[in-house]
Each structure stands twice: as structure tokens, then as C-alpha cells.
Amino acid sequence: MVAAITPVLAVFLGCVTFSGTENVGNGTILLPRVLNTIEKLGSFFGSDYSSINVDGLFGLRVAQGQVKLSISECRAASCTADVMARLMALDDKMETIASKAMPYIEDTDPKYFQRFRETIARPYVIGYHPETIDLLDQGFKKGTSPSYDEEKGDACYARLMGTYTENGNLLPKCNVTDACLEMMLHAHTARYVTTHQLLYFIVLEHMGCKNVGDYEEDEIRVIQEIFCTRIYREARSFVTQGNVHVSKRDLFLEQTMLCGSLGFEDFMKADWIRMVLRWPDTTDWCFKLNKHDLVEIAEESVGNFVKENKIKDPRVLKILLEDIDQLASKQYSEIVEEGLKGNRASMRKPLREQTMKDGCLSHTTGLGIGVFGVYLRYLLRLV
């Protein structure tokens, strides 16, 4: 039980109760596939570490934290010598990749790197508290996506990490203001805004911040529970006919990685694990968009445009449909060209994707390896 509920948290709170989730058995069937996939994704990152951006490395650090915790699970469960050796090798490989990638990320933007270094400097070894989510909660209201003030959000993160300067003085870490809490506890958000809010409280835990302002440690867990309840409802709505539309996969991965690493096991359903296992490119072992994917994204965008503007003129519809393939072809060519050049996008924009070699996507591949790290640890708990 939480010790006290502050006024801001009282507004934010909804009824959160928990129930069972789909069982994946003892994990022995899916475990080999998940372990094989995370090893191959790690090898891809190792082959192009100079092109990893902050988002990609963040995913790798989350995965590495899950691998370290998997090693602990393995020791307790008496895993086979082969599995233990592979986990140890994977941990070493991830540390090597991260160490090699850091100078390249710093070179891209030294000032930004120094401010946010703590988000990628070490593995995320955070508390795992197994819980499931009750979908019968009637207090849930579907969120919207308010604009996210990037400058204010960055300042709030910097205050947590001890890299924020105020009046010429460097403030100590775990500095939390009422304004930051109001921003990060804003209710009824959706999509990436919600995951960005949740991430704030994960970084808070990662930095070792205990009692923050009027909030005690157990209240932080309540906040994480509420966010992941809302996030799960949204993620669940994305899954139709056993798959997620390509335009929503990056977000689905981010939702799974963040909430799964905290122990919300509804995100580790057997059919969801099998679904995500189909998503990586099995030639280059990364996450990428092919021309067919871009056509699907363009079709969805045009469809939304037609619906929102109530377009019914057949001539206009014909022109829009003809533009879909041309738009997708142009986007695909740009992705391939950027991958060949090894260009880096600015790190200043949150959720900014960066193309790596062979058209692979740094942000999405980082999320992917983070998700498979979450799956790995969960399945090892069942062995």
C-alpha cells in the first residue's frame, strides 16, 4: 500500500487492479527462438556500431540489463551450461558494442551527449515485479496526444541525471520540480507521449532516486502501474488478426520494452512473442522498412486524410491513389540512399529514426533488441 496520495497523483490515479494473462507454458519452445534472435540482432549492431544513435543504444542498454538479470535467473534455475555460456557471451558483446558506439554518438553532438550520457552509459538493471492487468477496469478513458514540449522535457530529464545547470550551478541528480511532475503526470495522453512520461519514472529509478518530493518509492511503482495499464490497452488495440500494422510496430515495441522490463507480463503473451519474432529482417537481422511496408504506411496516411477531410470526389481519390506508390517509392529510395551513406540524423528530436547500413533502422532495431531482452528474461523465469 502507498503511504500517502498527493493531490497531483490523486488526479492522475485510476482504479488499477490485476488479473491473469495468457500462459506461454514453461517457455522451452519459445526460448531458443528468442535467444537466437537477440544474438543475431546483437551481431548486426556490432557490425555497424558507428551508426547507432542514442535511441538505438538506449534499447541495447535495456536489453543488456535484461540479459544480466537473465543470468541471475539462470543461476537460480540451474540452466544448461550452453544457455549460460551464450548469455555471458551476449552480455560481453553488448558491453563491447556500447563502448565502441559511445564516441561516435558523442562526436555527433558533444553538448547533448554530455547532458544525456547517463541514459546510455550503463545497462538498465531495474526492479522486476511480476503483475498482470485487469481489462475490466471501467475507469479507463482513451487518451489523446497533446504536444510534447521537448525543451521542458529534456530539462526534466537532465534534472534527474545531475546534468542540469541553474544560475550557473550544476544541480545534484534526482532534482524533481512540481512543473516536471505536472508535465510527466499529465493524464489521458497517448502513444509516444505516454511512453515518454513513463520513461521519466524509469530513468528516475535507474538513477537511484528514492523518495522524490512528496512521493515515496512505492508511489512511484503505482505511477508505473497506471501508465502501463493505459499503455497495454493501447497496445492491445493495435493487434488485429494476429499482427500489428507496420506504422504502429515501432510504438508497440517501445510499449512492450518499457512495461515488460518493469514486470507487466500481459505484454509477454505467447502469440505476441511469436508475432514479434516475425518482424526482424532475416537477411540482415535488423528492423527495416521495405517498399511494401511504405506502401501500407502511405495507404493509411491517405486513408486518414480522406476520412478527416470527407473527400468523396472520384477524381481527387484517383489522384491520391496514384500518389501512394510514387510516395512509397521515393521514401524507400531515400532510406536506402541514407543507409548507404551512413548518415546520422540529429539526436535533438525525440523518437527520431536513423538509418544504418542496408536500410536498417537504429531506433526500431534498438527497441527490438530491448523487447527480445524482455522476452528472454521472462521465458527464463518459466524454465
On the CB side of 130, how many CA atoms lie within 13 Å of its CA? 8
Structural domain includes residue 300: no
Q: Which residues contact 85 (CB under 8 A, 6 or more apart)?
A: none
The count of domains in the chain is: 1
Q: Is residue 379 very low, low, confident or very high in pLDDT (cuts 50, 70, 90)? A: very high
pLDDT in tens, 194-244: 999 999 999 999 998 876 766 677 788 889 999 999 999 999 999 999 999
What are the grid coordinates assigned to 217, written together? 518509492
Residue 74 in any domain: the answer is: yes
Instruction: Give the residue from 287, 297, 278, 376 showing the smallest Cα distance to 55.
Output: 287
In a domain, 64, yes or no: yes
Look at residue 357 and tell me if it is in a domain: no
Residues 375, 33 contacting (CB under 8 angstroms): no
**Cα dihedral 187→160→132→237 (10° resolution):** 50
Which of helix, strand or coil describes residue 165? strand
- 293 in a structural domain: no
Tell me the C-alpha distance between 31 and 143, whole Å.
35
CB contact set of 245 (below 8 Å; sequence gap of 6+): 238, 296, 300
Among all chains, which residue has been given the C-alpha cell 528516475? Answer: 204
Distance CA 134, CA 45 (A): 37
Residue 158 has pLDDT above 90, yes or no: yes
**How many other β-carbons are positioned within 10 Å of the β-carbon of residue 114?**
11
Cell of 179: 512543473
Q: Is residue 83 one of the residues assigned to a domain? A: yes
pLDDT band at 145; cut points 50, 70, 90: low
* pTM (2 d.p.): 0.82
| Residue 246 domain-assigned (yes or no) | yes
Mean pLDDT is highest, among 12-21, 287-296, 320-329, for 287-296
What is the structure's pLDDT at 25? 63
The residues with which 41 forms a beta bridge, in sequence order, are: none
Among 52-56, 208-212, 264-268, the range of highest mean pLDDT: 264-268
Which of the pair, 77 or 14, is modelled with greater confidence? 77
User: What's the one-letter identity of residue 208?
Assistant: G
Query: 331 and 294 in contact (C-beta within 8 Å)?
Result: yes
Who contacts 151 (Cβ-Cβ below 8 Å, separation ≥6)? none
In-domain check, residue 284: yes
- Band of residue 187 on the pLDDT scale cut at 50, 70, 90: confident
245 C-beta neighbours (distance < 10 Å), count: 15
**What is the residue range of 136's domain?**
7-288+365-382
SS (H, E, C) 65-101: HHHHHHHHHHHHHCCCHHHHHHHHHHHHHHHHHHHHH
pLDDT digits (tens, 9 = 90+) for 318-358: 555 565 566 555 554 454 444 333 333 333 333 456 788 98
**Look-up of cell digits 558533444:** 110
The pLDDT assigned to 220 comes to 86
CA distance readout (Å), 11 to 5, 14, 136, 148, 382: 10, 8, 20, 20, 37
Q: Is 52 in contact with 356 (CB distance < 8 Å)?
A: yes
Q: What distance in Å separates the CA atoms of residue 117 and residue 108, rounded to the nearest whole number?
A: 13
Percentage of the chain beyond pLDDT 70 is: 71
**Per-residue pLDDT tens over the stretch 356-369:** 898 899 999 999 99
**Cα–Cα dist 303/228, whole Å:** 30
Asked if pLDDT for residue 32 goes beyond 50, the answer is yes
